[in-house]
Amino acid sequence: MFNIDEKLKKLPDKPGVYIMKDKSGEIIYVGKAISLKKRVRQYFGSTKNNPPKVNAMIKHIHEFEYIIVDNEVEALILEANLIKKHRPKYNILLRDDKQYPYIKITTNEKYPRVLKTRNIIKDGAKYFGPYPSVYAVNDTIDIIRNLYPIRTCNRDLEKNMGKTRPCLNYYIGKCLGPCQGNVDENKYMEMIDEIIMFLSGKEDKLIEIIEEKMIEAAENMDYENAAKYRDQINSLNIILEKQKIVSSNLIDQDIIGMARGIDEVCIQVFFIRSGKIIGREHFIISDTFNEEKREILSSFIKQFYLGTAYVPKEIFIEEEIEDMDTIVKWLSEKRGSKVNIRVPKRGEKSQLMDMVKTNAMDMLKQYGDKFLRIQRQNEKALKEIQYALGLAKIPNRIEAYDISNIAGVSPVGSMVVFEQGEPKKSDYRRFKIKTVNTPDDYKSMEEILKRRFKRALAQSKGFAIFPDLIMIDGGKGQVNVALNVLEELNINIPVCGLVKDDFHKTRGIIYNNEEINLEEDSLGYRLIYNIQEEAHRFAINFHRSLRSKKMFKSELDDVKGIGEKRKKALLKHFGSIDNIKKASIEELSQVESMNKKVAKDLFKHFRGNEGE
């Protein structure tokens, strides 16, 4: 039995993270401390001056754990990671964990490309962003590709220069075709330099350069190129008109403003790159009635920048926050250079902060009530499910599983995740069934559940979080298969089945070998109906994609020694599979990349020992 008094005596006077749990073992709060000994003991002393939310949490603490780290920065990072992973009830939670898109220029390869990416890695390429939406990235990349005929393919030009036919972009003038080996690399890199200039916010300088080229082309009576440069300048001027310049300082900055409602706040972030607003994003955070602004901002910054790949040079906030120095150290380490967090008092930045806060209040008016209404509906729906099944706690994380196959062909499994009643698509998983060759849904379900929860026990990335409730598409048989798997792995999670009527509509829940029916107009019923439909949709779409790939599978795919390159060469040379089947070993050997041995294997595959 856990003895809190004994555990308190053993607390070290070292930095670390403490984890509070309730009597069911659920993590309800995660905090960090310079001294675990001093900080954790405060919770079990006088509660007179504590905020109501802290006192409510203390009543539910049944046990606690702690992790010692080397310094406060490590404690901050670990705290943020654990909050993101476990989403404790009494922490301030940022429910949006988007990974923002960036534009990447592959300056680490010959004849660089311009790509969209969500991950920044140290590979020698140049990255620009983050952009608040994928549409902004796509629009920017489209503009670049319309202005500059750069390559978009992923061919290895070092190995295949001049060995392959150019793609359609070459023939329609969208790419110079460096794959052909006749493009001046210096001229190509001039285009890349101009693109970098454009993405760095130096459009005015870029326009000057293009104007000089236009004048020179016109003087040389090269009117075709002069017209091309004129069109480029016009396109760039249109872009400049759309962008709002808000700062004479060309440093990358994020401006973070906040507006309060009754029990929720809206935090607005404006992304400023090279003095221009490239976009904005808003976040609604609930259960903040008793929280101080500085605590909310501190929690937001830790969770927000934990999930972003890029940290700007400057971050502007409304007021000083908790752990300011530690957060600055952490963000500076993450960026790789000094980061400043500032509170503007007057001038340009103060006016900009007022604009961000005004936008936050506008967003709160637009979305705050809607967000809270949905949240409360979801809470009620989950409580209805908890009551109907007699669960010990609200099933905040539900995982639903479904199997899809047609006569046993390409059987697949799906796992969809709902947290707080909303789909969490980043946690969805697909499984190709590997051990079942016949239409056996029971064995298929057994396989995917074993794979999923063995990975959970191993704390594999993407599988480490356990659900509060498992829903299986099916009846008693399917539920018992799931329970047997969990028992074998010594995991205790409630499992229910979702059964349908003759019209393929959700009828009820199978739990403890009994069917439980909810009223069709109840929130709980609507939620389980949505979960079952989502699991089925996700499985069906995966199954269709696999079947589609199989339909277009070539007979050559089953021949040993025939890879993608040889397959393309054979089809290009002979024109069809039928012609390949008719060819002799000598004819097959003459195809590019083929040799005598592979030609013999291919001949034998189609015609056996006919030629021997």
Summarize pLDDT for 227-236 with one digit per residue, the tens.
888 887 776 6
Per-residue confidence (pLDDT) for residue 601, from 0 to 100: 83
**Residue that wins the pLDDT comparison between 400 and 539:** 400
Per-residue confidence (pLDDT) for residue 552, from 0 to 100: 42
Block residue for tokens 């390949």: 580
**Could you tell me if 94 and 299 are in contact, meaning their C-beta atoms sit under 8 angstroms apart?**
yes
**Residue that wins the pLDDT comparison between 197 and 503:** 197
**Could you tell me if 20 and 28 are in contact, meaning their C-beta atoms sit under 8 angstroms apart?**
yes
**In this structure, are strands 340-342 and 114-117 parallel, antiparallel, or unpaired?**
unpaired
Mean pLDDT within 483-504: 88
Mean pLDDT within 204-220: 82
Q: Determine the Cα–Cα distance for residues 286 and 89; give it in Å rounded to an integer.
A: 11
Per-residue confidence (pLDDT) for residue 551, from 0 to 100: 42
Per-residue confidence (pLDDT) for residue 170, from 0 to 100: 80
Domains contained in the chain, CATH given: 4-86 (3.40.1440.10), 102-242 (no CATH), 253-367 (3.30.420), 397-550 (3.30.420.340), 555-607 (1.10.150.20)
Per-residue confidence (pLDDT) for residue 471, from 0 to 100: 94
Q: Determine the Cα–Cα distance for residues 552 and 567; give it in Å rounded to an integer.
A: 14
Q: Is the pLDDT of residue 114 over 70?
A: yes
Q: 494 preceded by cis ω (within 30°)?
A: no
Q: Is the pLDDT of residue 175 over 60?
A: yes
Mean pLDDT within 349-377: 82
Per-residue confidence (pLDDT) for residue 219, from 0 to 100: 84
Per-residue confidence (pLDDT) for residue 249, from 0 to 100: 64
Q: Determine the Cα–Cα distance for residues 6 and 138; give it in Å rounded to an integer.
A: 59
Q: Is the pLDDT of residue 162 over 70?
A: no
Q: Which residues in 420-554 belong to E strands, given as ranges? A: 422-423, 429-432, 469-473, 495-500, 506-511, 514-516
On the 0-12 / 13-18 / 19+ scale of CB atoms within 10 A, 524 is buried
H or E stretch covering 286? strand 276-286
Mean pLDDT within 312-337: 90
Q: Determine the Cα–Cα distance for residues 29 and 21; give it in Å rounded to an integer.
A: 7
Return the closest-CA partner of residue 382 out of 398, 371, 368. 398
**Residue that wins the pLDDT comparison between 130 and 314:** 314
Tokens at residue 591, please? 């195809």
Phi-psi region at 323: left, alpha or beta (left = phi > 0; alpha = psi -120 to 50) = left
What pLDDT band is residue 407 in, cutting at 50, 70 and 90?
Answer: very low
What pLDDT band is residue 435 in, cutting at 50, 70 and 90?
Answer: confident
Q: Is the pLDDT of residue 65 over 80?
A: yes
Per-residue confidence (pLDDT) for residue 172, from 0 to 100: 80
Per-residue confidence (pLDDT) for residue 410, from 0 to 100: 63
DSSP state of 367: I
Phi, psi dihedrals of residue 39, rounded to the nearest 5°: -70, -50
pTM, two decimals, is 0.59
Per-residue confidence (pLDDT) for residue 553, from 0 to 100: 47
What pLDDT band is residue 109 in, cutting at 50, 70 and 90?
Answer: confident
Q: Is the pLDDT of residue 209 over 60?
A: yes
